[in-house]
Amino acid sequence: MISRSRPCAQLLNRLALSRLLSTVNAGGLNVDSGLYELVNEKIAPGTGVTPESFWKSLNSIVTDMVPRNKELLAKRDTIQTELNAYHSANPGPPKDMEAYKAFLTKIGYLVPEGPAFQVETFNVDA
């Protein structure tokens, strides 16, 4: 077993934090420097997409999706709160599965199955 002194642990925490804080501005986004280098040096070359175009497009996508992401995270929090309250009031496995399914549907955890669909891909492994 390895024992770490408190100063050693603090140093390791600071090193980890400094790594996390090592970011680069790319297309208006604060991006981890390691990810930035990976995309720019290993992934983008040969794709026909410049790193600048990639980061600018990613920024646009992220900006467009932030409001919807916040809505979904708030919905997840609400559903989790409802689930926690239910399971606190009803410990153990559900005794009435149909009532439990109705509860899950009521809080939005279960939704009706949508229509059938197909997914097609193009130029994959071409």
Question: Would you give per-residue pLDDT tens digits along the chain (126 residues)?
Answer: 444 456 666 666 666 665 566 889 999 999 999 999 999 999 999 999 999 999 999 999 999 999 999 999 999 999 999 999 999 999 999 999 999 999 999 999 999 999 999 999 888 876
Burial of 15 (0-12, 13-18, 19+ CB in 10 A): exposed
- pLDDT the model gives residue 8: 65
- Residues 6 or more apart from 36 whose CB is under 8 A from it? 24, 26
Q: Is residue 12 part of a domain?
A: no
Domain around 24? 20-106
* The overall pTM is greater than 0.85: no
Q: Which among 62, 69, 64 has a CA at the least distance from the CA of 29?
A: 62
Q: Which among 69, 44, 46, 68 has a CA at the least distance from the CA of 56?
A: 44
Q: Is residue 125 part of a domain?
A: no
- pLDDT the model gives residue 3: 47
Burial of 109 (0-12, 13-18, 19+ CB in 10 A): middle
Q: Is residue 15 part of a domain?
A: no
DSSP line for 86-126: HHHHS-SS-S-HHHHHHHHHHTTSS------------SS--
The total number of structural domains in the chain stands at: 1
- pLDDT the model gives residue 76: 96
Matching residue, tokens 């390691």: 34
